[in-house]
Amino acid sequence: MFSENNLLLENIKFSQNPFPHFSSDKILDEKLAHQLLNWFKITDHWHFTQTSFYTQYEFSLLDLDVPVELRQLSASEFIQGLKIFFKDQFNTGELKLVGITAHKLVDGYRMGVHNDFIGKDETHRLIVQLNDNWTEDNGGFLMLFNSKDPHDVAKIIKPVHNSGIGFEISTKSYHAVSTVHSFERYTLVYTFSSF
């Protein structure tokens, strides 16, 4: 277990397949995860985004005046803890935070197969899933793929509240989110670049 300023990262499981990634049963302190989810449900910062492979609501937490109890999520000590953990897990050099983004998928929304790869500007990502009262009927599963073929599923991850996944962004890091049904699926995404 790793613990640093409400960053728990409990029950870490690391795998090289289908691409380097780790999963964790509990990313944040429970109180902090609850406060963050509650804020996501009431904030009006969401803006609609549509691309060729996804439709969602999103906003950046960087340079945003978030509630006092959530400021630790972008505090230097918290970010440094994440950087240290990622460096240890992925044997990488120094990392730079380039984004903290909230995502929301609602009924009928999904993300198609994609790899997030844009070169050295984004090299590592942590996805924190924030979904209380989720059931399998709600969908929104995070899926990892062996290739860009949507039938070539390697792993299915339930969007359980306060769980998450960190991965190395590459030309092989294909993933997707299955269609959400009668639910609002929230995630907090940290993105880093190596330099």
Overall residue count recorded for the chain in this entry: 195
Q: For residue 25, give the nearest of 148, 159, 168 by alpha carbon.
A: 159
CATH of 7-194, one of 3.40.50.720, 1.10.3720.10, 2.60.120.620, 2.60.40.10: 2.60.120.620
Q: For residue 110, give the nearest of 57, 177, 156, 52 by alpha carbon.
A: 177
Distance between CA atoms of residues 101 and 59, nearest Å:
6
The percent of residues above 70 in pLDDT, for the chain, comes to 97
What are the structure tokens assigned to 125, written together?
């990502």
pLDDT in tens, 157-175: 999 999 999 999 999 999 9
Mean pLDDT of 63-81: 95
For residue 82, report the phi and psi dihedrals to the nearest 5 degrees: -65, -45
pLDDT score, position 174: 98
pLDDT score, position 195: 77
What confidence tier does 69 reach under pLDDT thresholds 50, 70, 90? very high
The residues that bridge with 7 in the sheet, in sequence order, are: 4, 28
* β-bridge pairing 124-130 and 111-114: unpaired
pLDDT in tens, 51-62: 999 999 999 999
Distance between CA atoms of residues 54 and 95, nearest Å:
27
Distance between CA atoms of residues 83 and 72, nearest Å:
15
Cis peptide leading into 150, omega within 30 of 0?
Answer: no
* β-bridge pairing 95-105 and 185-194: antiparallel
Residue 3 has pLDDT above 70, yes or no: no
User: 70 by DSSP, 3-state: which?
Assistant: helix
- Helix or strand holding residue 156 (H, E): strand 153-157
According to DSSP H, which parts of the chain are helical?
30-42, 76-90
First to last CA, the chain: 27
Domain ranges of the chain: 7-194
